[in-house]
Structure 1
């Protein structure tokens, strides 16, 4: 019985979910790393780079 199960054809892998790329974006804030405050005594963050993608399933 074991020999029969080993000789059978393997199953294909399950299908991946279909998706569509709606939007890809890249951005950066404060590239030059300037020191500034928009609110008194609350300094802004330094350099910040971000990327992302919006997908629909």
Structure 2
């Protein structure tokens, strides 16, 4: 997700999206440990998305 997309979400939507992305990251990590996934950069991108979501959530809660 892009930063502009995240800014338009409400705090509740960010929390829901954060839970979805964390679950997807866990699934990808497990799949990568079993057999290498086609595009391992997806893991890096998901971690960055989680960081963006956490940052925006913190900003909205203040």
* TM exceeding 0.5: no
TM-score by length of 1: 0.24
Relative contact order (C-alpha < 8 Å, sep 6+): which is higher?
2
Which one has the bigger strand percentage?
Answer: 1
TM-score by length of 2: 0.23
Which one has the bigger helix percentage?
Answer: 2
